[in-house]
Structure 1
Amino acid sequence: MFLWAGSKGAQGSGHERRTIYQKIREYDILDKRKTVTALKAGEDRAILLGLTMILFSVMMYFVLGITLVRSYSDSVWTEESSCTVLNSTITTEINCTYSCGPDCWKSSKYPCLQVFVSLNTSGKIVRLSHNEETQDMSPECFYVPKCRKDYMAMHTIIMNISERLKMHQQVPCYHDPGERQDSVLLTRLYGRGAVFHSLFWPTCTLIGGTLIIAMVKLTQYLSILCEQINKIKR
């Protein structure tokens, strides 16, 4: 009777130990599953972040490509030189319109300042424009001010520009090396520096997004490789 009770107690204690061991194992498995789930969620967020950065950079490349880069590549005034101001006079008045409210437009005028310069590299006498936008809007005028109601304010702006050009007779200018244009520019809207700075941040975003995705994929590969090695050792 005693031996039977002793063997029964031993079996009970062994069963209790197995039960405790199973519970501990279940807790370990549950903790591992929670850890794996949290890691997988973090990896998914990182991949989503990387894809968003890549998509944003591609969109920026597209917008800059059809605006800034296209204007830069289409411009024929690519060679920088120096010019000597020969003449700076107001020749005529140009009509313009300004906004006076919603769906309200009124007419005004601004003086047309015509500037001729001598290209120092060739001695050719050409007309000087402020930039590509001015050349497209009014090829005969050096500068196109913002249209205003006050004519005297625009006249004062143009006269100040004329006086500065007369004071600084040697000015930098951009000309067409193929001599297809009979004018030169004082400044360019989009030069190499502007193009570089505009494309710099989208490029950084693209590289950053690509690196994030590559690091996540590398981490996943190394994790799978470690699991395979552990299974082989067991």
Structure 2
Amino acid sequence: MLGKKLVTAQKRGETRALCLGLGMVTCSVMMYFLIAITIVPFYTRSVWTAQTICKVLKTNIKDKVLCPNSKGSEDEDIFPYPCLQVWVNLTASGEEVMLYHTEDTLERNPKCSYIPGKMENSKVKAQIEEIATNFKKQQTFPCYYDPGGTQTSVILSRLYAPKGLLFAFLWPTLMFTGGCLIIVLVKISQYVSVLSAWQ
């Protein structure tokens, strides 16, 4: 009687462990799919892949620039803000080009190097002036350019860098490995129990 109860409990434990392992594998596959349709396309579209040194030539702050949203030009989607323009000398080619904060900045407003978040006008102006001062102090810094030459501008930091992509794939990989390991251990346990029963 006790032996039957132990066998039943063991089978229930194995079933639960198998369900856990299969659930982890399924979740990791779904995460891979989501990453493949959301992050990977942005990474492959980014042409700013080569790194070089940029030297600041001039910084300019225009008072206000209207920035229409890409979806439309409704009044609520247009907001005025001080526009920072940073021109740099690209060490790789010796050209004078405009610097943008990220790939997204160029798409949202090609007139400005930096797009501030929505906050009070006084804070935005102070933030942009501080950024301009930092550029004047720094003078030289690493930046990214397009080695193919399709984009003449450069960016300060990549939104979709290889490290970020690897980090995005890290968690589903760990979950997939853990799920497979649980399934393998359960199958080994079942095999060992069958062998011991035959003996």
Question: TM-score, normalising length from structure 1?
Answer: 0.77
4+ runs deviating over 6 angstroms: none
- Structure with greater proportional helix content: 1
Deviation at 1:107, TM superposition (A): 5.7
Rounded Cα–Cα distance in structure 2 between residues aligned with 1:179 and 1:92: 32
Instruction: Report the equivalent of 2:170.
Output: 200
| Residue 144 (structure 2) pairs with residue 174 (structure 1) | yes
Identity of aligned residues (%): 43
Deviation at 1:96, TM superposition (A): 5.3
| Residue 85 (structure 2) pairs with residue 121 (structure 1) | no
Instruction: Report the equivalent of 2:38.
Output: 67
Deviation at 1:92, TM superposition (A): 5.3
The aligned runs of 1:1-234 (5 Å cut-off) are 30-91=1-62, 93-95=64-66, 105=76, 108-148=79-119, 150-228=120-198, 230=199
**Contact 1:71–1:190, Cα closer than 8 Å, also in 2:** yes
Higher RCO, Cα 8 Å, sep 6+: 2
Deviation at 1:60, TM superposition (A): 1.7
Q: Tell me which structure has the larger Cα radius of gyration.
A: 1
| CA separation of 1:112 and 1:48: change in aligned 2, threshold 3 A | same
How many matched pairs? 193
Rounded Cα–Cα distance in structure 1 between residues aligned with 2:46 and 2:77: 33
| Unmatched tracts of structure 1, length 5 or more | 1-29, 98-104
Rounded Cα–Cα distance in structure 1 between residues aligned with 2:161 and 2:109: 21
Instruction: Report the equivalent of 2:73.
Output: none
Question: TM-score, normalising length from structure 2?
Answer: 0.89
SS at match of 1:178: coil
Instruction: Supply the AA of the counterpart residue of 1:43.
Output: E
Identify the range of structure 1 (75-84 vs 150-159) with the bigger mean alpha-carbon deviation: 150-159
Cα deviations by residue, 1:114-134 (Å, 9 ceiling, x for unpaired): 111111121011110000111
| CA separation of 1:182 and 1:106: change in aligned 2, threshold 3 A | closer
| CA separation of 1:189 and 1:135: change in aligned 2, threshold 3 A | same
| CA separation of 1:178 and 1:163: change in aligned 2, threshold 3 A | same
Instruction: Supply the AA of the counterpart residue of 2:132.
Output: S
Instruction: Supply the AA of the counterpart residue of 1:161.
Output: I
Rounded Cα–Cα distance in structure 1 between residues aligned with 2:114 and 2:19: 49
* Aligned-residue CA RMSD (Å): 1.9
**Contact 2:144–2:156, Cα closer than 8 Å, also in 1:** yes
| Unmatched tracts of structure 2, length 5 or more | 69-75
Deviation at 1:75, TM superposition (A): 0.7
Instruction: Supply the AA of the counterpart residue of 1:71.
Output: F
